[in-house]
Amino acid sequence: MFKLLIVDDEERIRQVIRTYAEFDGHEVMEAKDGMEAIDLCKEHDFDVIVMDIMMPRLDGFSAYKEIKKIKDIPVLMLSARDEEYDKLFGFEIGIDDYVVKPFSPKEVIARLNVIVSRHQKLKKTNQLRFEGLEIDQDGREVYVDKHRLDLTPKEYEILLFLAKNEGIALSREKLLNQIWGYDFYGDDRTVDTHIKMLRNSLGDYRKYIVTVRGVGYKFDTRSEEQEAKA
């Protein structure tokens, strides 16, 4: 059983999906627009979301971007348009699936079961995830919006060490000792150079690597003062 949030401005659509979901034994809540969906996600934990794209007040894509800042919840997008652009944009921002109206309610529930199962398996694996940034510790790979990055071993190790110590200010000396070892004969600029390259690779998620003046760096997903450049 999973907890589902249905977001659509059409009551008929919400009711159809709700009926099939509850028949399948799932718990359901509803929102009629993107703003209401964001508020519900702040108050409740959901396993998956079904979200329409075209809605009043706030569209589905914009709502999902805001929800991703709050919680890691997979989403299946609904759309009345079978446009390639909508699909590509949706997958770029991290949606898990896309269904065009009119749809089969049974198919939607089947897709939701797959999404939830896949997401639960992901949580059990040795991975760290921050919005669209994923660090696979088993495979030593990093993904940005599901695209694998080509990081150097040192860049990977720096990112992993920062992420595992989220919110903690780490000095350049600490990073040198941890990543390069105590017998390293370089200087602090080595850390700065690698941080700069790492930020360039992370794209929008470079915001997570924050410079701490006079100290070094920290990995911060909540700071309003995240720096955008090295």
**pLDDT tens by residue, 45-60:** 999 999 999 998 899 9
Q: Say whether pLDDT at 70 is over 90.
A: no
- We report the CATH number of the domain holding residue 74 as 3.40.50.2300
Question: Which pLDDT does position 91 carry in this prediction?
Answer: 83
Q: Give the whole-angstrom CA distance, residue 22 versus residue 122.
A: 25
Q: Say whether pLDDT at 229 is over 70.
A: no
Sorted by sequence, the CB contacts under 8 Å of residue 11 that are 6+ apart come out as 32
Q: Say whether pLDDT at 38 is over 90.
A: yes
Name the residue range of residue 191's domain: 129-219
Average pLDDT rounded to a whole number, residues 76-89: 82
27 & 41 share domain:
yes
Region for residue 169 given its phi and psi (left: phi exceeds 0; alpha: psi -120 to 50; beta: otherwise): beta
Instruction: Give yes or no for a contact between 50 and 108, defined as CB atoms under 8 angstroms apart.
Output: yes
Domain boundary among the residues 80, 96, 124 is at 124
Average pLDDT rounded to a whole number, residues 99-125: 86
226 in any annotated domain: no
Q: What percent of the chain has pLDDT over 90?
A: 57
Give how many domains the chain has, as a whole number: 2
Domain boundary among the residues 61, 90, 124 is at 124
pTM of the model: 0.57
Q: Say whether pLDDT at 85 is over 80.
A: no
Angle between helices 60-70 and 34-43 (to 10 degrees): 20
65 & 98 share domain:
yes
